[in-house]
């Protein structure tokens, strides 16, 4: 294995992903007070680096929760009339469940899982003027599909009063997302995916338009009130005690991503790993699950065309020290019900290198 892994099984699942040893070391640094000067310096150092990672001038808020926290924050702070949720897999469905759980009026665009959300579908819905926000999943982790954010952003530009809320949990840090160019109002991600941090931290860029909307909304809740988060952010603080260990890790990892690996190299590495995986699958007579042309660079979802016993594969490759993903359970249940072939996933996101993936695929082909 290249780099410095300390985990038991090597993780080829779509999160949590492998965390480099030096990042794990950061997590064991002694605590500091979260109201101290030292903490303010740490927080202040991280902010501009996140802006680079998100390609934005917007604030990049940090929450030491998982990414779902910022999904809930987006809904609670940005929806008053009605939200349009784009569903092409499990995580699009999650947007809708969160909206309903928060008592918001919500409607869905539902496409077959594995298909992409096409911009025309959004345009058609928004022309009714009923919505104040659109929620979309960039990389639909359950199906390995990447939605066409750029084309969708062109449609969003026609509706400047509608907020554009993007779940980039399994893409940001592995795939370029130019938040300002795309006009994204909230772009959120979780640390445990392509950013390669231990789970328990989430990041979200928030536009002025999103803050302005929040000002008009009652019942924003307490923990994820964007206006409270902003007040603290401007003072290099958090409203409540954060996981300081995660902030140390984020400080180091953003240096690594921006200055040691470099963003473009990181995106290219993810692209290379995706190509390797697709070629490998094709050579073995298997097909990709997502609609052609919309395959993700961070996670590959492959149809089990040979009807291989995936649980047995998991067991066997587990004995060799790898954690195999037998596919997204609800997707496979759905496919089973429809009498279709099920899927499995190979995640190639975060800090694993081409060599690591090559070794994994080499081992995997003994069983698949
Ligand atoms: C696309 C996507 N959105 C949201 C989530 C939820 O993120 P978290 O588990 O960090 O709350 C996940 C988790 O796998 C995901 O893949």
Instruction: Give the pLDDT confidence score for residue 4 in this predicted structure.
Output: 47
Contact assessment for residue 293 and residue 273, using Cβ atoms and an 8 Å cutoff: no
Instruction: Give the pLDDT confidence score for residue 8 in this predicted structure.
Output: 82
Of 65, 67, 290, best ligand 1 pocket probe by most atoms within 8 Å of the beta carbon = 67
Instruction: Give the pLDDT confidence score for residue 5 in this predicted structure.
Output: 52
Between the CA of 283 and the centroid of ligand 1 the distance, in Å, is 31
Report the C-alpha gap between 295 and 301 in whole angstroms: 8
Which CA distances in Å does 137 have to 34, 92, 94, 169? 33, 6, 10, 8
Which CA distances in Å does 283 have to 58, 276, 287, 292, 306? 44, 11, 10, 17, 13
Between the CA of 169 and the centroid of ligand 1 the distance, in Å, is 6
Between the CA of 38 and the centroid of ligand 1 the distance, in Å, is 31
pLDDT in tens, 172-200: 999 999 999 999 999 999 999 999 999 99
Between the CA of 1 and the centroid of ligand 1 the distance, in Å, is 27
Report the C-alpha gap between 289 and 341 in whole angstroms: 10
Instruction: Give the pLDDT confidence score for residue 185 in this predicted structure.
Output: 98
Residue ranges in the chain modelled with pLDDT below 70 = 1-7
Determine the length of the chain. Answer: 368
Contact assessment for residue 246 and residue 203, using Cβ atoms and an 8 Å cutoff: no
Coil, strand or helix at 160 = coil
Report the C-alpha gap between 78 and 73 in whole angstroms: 8
Phi-psi region of 232 (alpha: psi -120 to 50; beta: other; left: phi over 0): alpha
Report the C-alpha gap between 216 and 37 in whole angstroms: 33
Q: Which residue has the tokens 């190509």?
A: 275
Question: pTM above the 0.85 mark?
Answer: yes
Instruction: Give the pLDDT confidence score for residue 2 in this predicted structure.
Output: 47
**Peptide bond preceding 141: is omega within 30 degrees of 0, i.e. cis?**
no
Instruction: Give the pLDDT confidence score for residue 144 in this predicted structure.
Output: 98
Instruction: Give the pLDDT confidence score for residue 7 in this predicted structure.
Output: 56
Instruction: Give the pLDDT confidence score for residue 3 in this predicted structure.
Output: 52
Residue nearest to atom 7 of ligand 1 (CA): 67
Instruction: Give the pLDDT confidence score for residue 43 in this predicted structure.
Output: 98
Ligand 1 pocket, CB under 6 A: 15, 66-68, 91, 137, 141, 167, 169-170, 190
**Surface-to-core class of residue 271, CB atoms within 10 Å of its CB (0-12 exposed, 13-18 middle, 19+ buried):** middle
CATH numbers and ranges of domains, the chain: 10-16+263-364 (3.90.1150.10), 21-260 (3.40.640.10)
Give CA 124 to chain center in angstroms.
27
């Amino acid at each position: 294995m290249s780099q410095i892994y300390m985990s038991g099984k090597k993780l080829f699942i779509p999160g949590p992903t492998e965390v480099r040893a030096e990042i794990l070391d950061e997590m064991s640094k002694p605590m500091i007070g979260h109201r101290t000067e030292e903490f303010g310096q740490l927080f202040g150092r991280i902010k501009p680096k996140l802006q680079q990672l998100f390609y934005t001038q917007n604030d990049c808020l940090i929450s030491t929760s998982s990414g779902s926290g910022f999904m809930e924050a987006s809904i609670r702070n940005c929806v008053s009339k009605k939200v349009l949720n784009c569903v092409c897999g499990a995580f699009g469905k999650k947007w809708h469940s969160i909206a309903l759980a928060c008592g918001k009026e919500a409607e869905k665009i539902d496409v077959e899982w594995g298909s992409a959300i096409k911009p025309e579908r959004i345009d058609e819905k928004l022309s009714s003027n009923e919505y104040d926000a659109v929620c979309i999943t960039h990389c639909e982790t359950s199906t390995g599909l990447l939605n066409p954010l750029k084309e969708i952003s062109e449609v969003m530009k026609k509706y400047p009063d509608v907020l554009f809320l993007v779940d980039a949990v399994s893409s940001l840090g592995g795939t370029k997302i130019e938040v300002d160019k795309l006009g994204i109002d909230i772009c959120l991600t979780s640390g445990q995916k392509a950013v390669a941090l231990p789970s328990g931290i989430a990041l979200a860029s928030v536009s002025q338009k999103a803050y302005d909307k929040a000002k008009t909304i009652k019942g924003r809740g307490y923990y994820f009130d964007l206006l409270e988060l902003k007040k603290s952010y401007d003072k290099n603080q958090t409203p409540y005690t954060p996981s300081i260990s995660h902030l140390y890790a984020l400080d180091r990892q953003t240096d690594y991503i921006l200055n040691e690996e470099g963003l473009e190299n990181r995106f290219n590495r993810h692209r290379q790993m995706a190509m390797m995986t697709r070629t490998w699958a094709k050579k073995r007579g298997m097909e990709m699950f997502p609609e052609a042309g919309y395959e993700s660079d961070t996670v590959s979802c492959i149809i089990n065309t040979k009807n291989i016993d995936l649980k047995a594969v998991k067991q066997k490759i587990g004995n060799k020290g790898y954690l195999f993903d037998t596919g997204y359970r609800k997707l496979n249940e759905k496919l089973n019900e429809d009498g279709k072939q099920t899927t499995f996933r190979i995640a190639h996101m975060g800090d694993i290198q081409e060599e690591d993936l090559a070794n994994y695929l080499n081992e995997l082909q003994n069983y698949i």
